[in-house]
Chain A
């Protein structure tokens, strides 16, 4: 359907629809937004709007060694996951897109399996496996598990980027004497780079926000931010978490905007 539907229904008669739709949108967005002003509260009570303002909960966040270490672990894991998942995902998407791959449907299903398999099963499974090969509570184990979860998003994003790209361009470059890698790097990559960046951003946020698998396989010195937040939420609701949440919301807005920007250029 296009901008103007041309249907003989006035906006007035649609008022109820717009009202319901707007209320549902508010339901989706307002709870997270309420956290932001509350994180600047001056008191230990969670009030909205806060009666006094301060940065004490941000100080509590940045000055706590535990929270800071957990944040660093999460950032490291997310950066490494992005660096591992993106090339693997791009390579797989390239092969899947070629159309010359036998069993392409099966391979696609394997690579995107982690979207369908219940996360709790992946968590228990990796914990069980890592216990035998000594990867629990290690950054390596965390990155491998997160890579598997980020892979489907990279593959799907890059595949959709390939859809608006004509592979013949790469063939032309190769027939003109460019090597395979050179043709891919100089002709194909510049044209699908926005979907590659979107895929990489997806991988980053998938790893950074991952909760369930991290609950099982991270701990000790490699406790992730999400794991520490989960435990903190089970015990008591400390306004420090409001400050951390606000930082996370800011991060997701930045990454989301970047993905939108790159997505539009595609």
Chain B
């Protein structure tokens, strides 16, 4: 392996050429090992998306124009889609934080054995089909579903509540599917918090509430931010749950893309939607990296 000779102190002279040639060969061989994966990703993902981007630059008459992008901003139905999408994304992310933070906090405070048993319930849904979980919510929430039947049998309500095939259904279904994406990074960052900080704070007389808010909570923020960004980004491009639980009334970004391309065969407009979605996704990730990078370094410097 080339790394081993390269680690030796440089003796200058005779072997340098041979060693560098060897290192080049080694790097080439390693690149060769990666190449099947790179070629496959290039053909199946990069090429079509680049092609779609190219298409989005031309209008129906084949002229180079920004018409597809102008329509995305101007046409009322598209604007409504964006508003719905961001509305859903904000509410679902908020719900995930509200439900996920206490859960991750509890998991981080439990003894290891209990925590790993509880973690199974967080990770198992990852392995369960999104369709199965969406189906389960449809069964529970629809007009003649379990919840409405039970509530009516108990006499709590006289009319079935509209819980599925609308906005509420989309929110419940998406929160359920995206919650683990928030809990797992948050839990990992909470486990990394040094308990000595908390002991020190309490030793110095801070009550538990103050210790939590002034020490634990700020230290858990990077993990929370990571989870929030992941959930938000996944919300923006989510397709299955809104398509099945929205009852055709909640049109989100991905559904609009599907309709524009499959139903109306308008590839230019659909591609423009896709390009903007990708740009927003990558932009959010970039901002997050930049912010967290700054935070991490500042925290490091303060120590």
Contacts and interface: CB of A to CB of B under 8 A. Distances in A.
Ranked nearest first, the 4 interchain pairs of A and B with the lowest CB-CB distance are A118-B237, A125-B48, A21-B106, A31-B136
Interface string B130-168: 111111111110100110010000000000000000000
B142 A28 contact: no
Contacts of B130: 209, 211
Contacts, number: 277
A101 B135 contact: no
Given A21-B105, A34-B146, A148-B44, 9 more contacts: A5-B109, A32-B125, A91-B33, A92-B38, A118-B278, A124-B271, A129-B51, A170-B1, A237-B142
Given A17-B109, A18-B106, A124-B270, A226 B129 contact: yes
Interface string B6-47: 000000000000000001001100110110111011111111
B261 A32 contact: no
A107 B27 CA distance: 13
B88 to A, nearest CB: 15
Contacts of A262: none
A248 B139 contact: no
B108 interface: yes
B184 to A, nearest CB: 12
Interface of B: 1-4, 23, 26-27, 30-31, 33-34, 36-38, 40-49, 51-52, 99-100, 102-103, 105-109, 111-112, 118, 120-125, 127-140, 142, 145-146, 149, 176, 179-180, 191, 193-195, 198-199, 202, 208, 233, 236-237, 239-240, 243-244, 253-254, 257-258, 261-262, 267, 270-271, 274, 277-278, 281-282, 285
Given A121-B278, A212-B239, A249-B128, A24 B102 contact: yes
B38 A111 contact: yes
Contact of A35 (B4, B48, B139, B233): B139
Nearest to B175: A27
B176 A28 contact: yes
Given A118-B278, A121-B237, A28 B122 contact: yes
Contact of A120 (B41, B47, B51, B239): B239
Interface string A224-245: 0010011001100100011001
A35 B180 contact: no
A230 B33 contact: no
Interface string A46-72: 111000000000000000000000000
Given A212-B239, A248-B128, A34 B136 contact: yes
Interface in A202-222: 205, 209, 211-212, 216
Contacts of B244: 230, 233-234
Contacts of A212: 239-240, 254
Contacts of B202: 7-8
Contact of B191 (A1, A25, A248, A255): A1
A196 B42 CA distance: 24
A38 B261 CA distance: 38
B38 A110 contact: yes
Contact of A111 (B34, B48, B257): B34
A100 interface: yes
Interface string A79-104: 00000000011011011101111100
A185 interface: no
Given A99-B3, A120-B258, A35 B132 contact: yes
21 contacts: A5-B195, A21-B102, A34-B136, A35-B136, A48-B146, A88-B40, A95-B33, A96-B34, A99-B3, A101-B30, A107-B34, A114-B41, A116-B233, A125-B48, A212-B240, A230-B240, A234-B244, A245-B129, A248-B128, A248-B132, A253-B124
